[in-house]
Amino acid sequence: MEKYYEVIRRIIELIDTLEEGIIHLEKQLTEHRYEESVVMLQDLLEAISSIANAIEPMDGELPENNISSLSQNLIKGIQKTVDSYSEDKEVNLSVEAQEYIIPNYISWRDEIAKTLKPYIQS
């Protein structure tokens, strides 16, 4: 796993940045700034997909985990929310963020931290 040290370190850093993005997204939705929210959602989607792609090559060397399925759930939740906006269902954005994105993000973040942090704490 040494060869992945830098990738893992960057993933952990990105997760903290993503969390700031999630908090900012919540604020935008509360303030009904939907267009900005969708841009933020697309950025989050891209970042999460990048992290999932970065983890994939090392997955065989990691202990058993649910990162892949949690990544898929999170990506689907974000995509569902973006689709709601595209279908002029702005009213659903805040609810979907609370019901799909935030809980899925927390589960995903925690699973990545539990699985990857031991490799950079030595």
Residue type, 121: Q
Task: Tell me the pLDDT tens digit for each residue of 21-68.
Answer: 999 998 998 888 888 888 999 999 999 999 999 999 999 999 999 999
Q: Residue 15, Cβ neighbours under 10 Å: how many?
A: 20
Residue 16: which of 121, 114, 113 has the closest Cα?
113
Q: How far is CA 79 from the centre of its chain?
A: 12
> What integer best gives the mean pLDDT of the chain?
90
User: What local confidence, expressed as pLDDT, does residue 96 receive?
Assistant: 82
Domains, in order of start, for the chain: 2-119 (1.20.120.290)
For 95, the 3-state DSSP assignment is: helix
pTM: 0.89
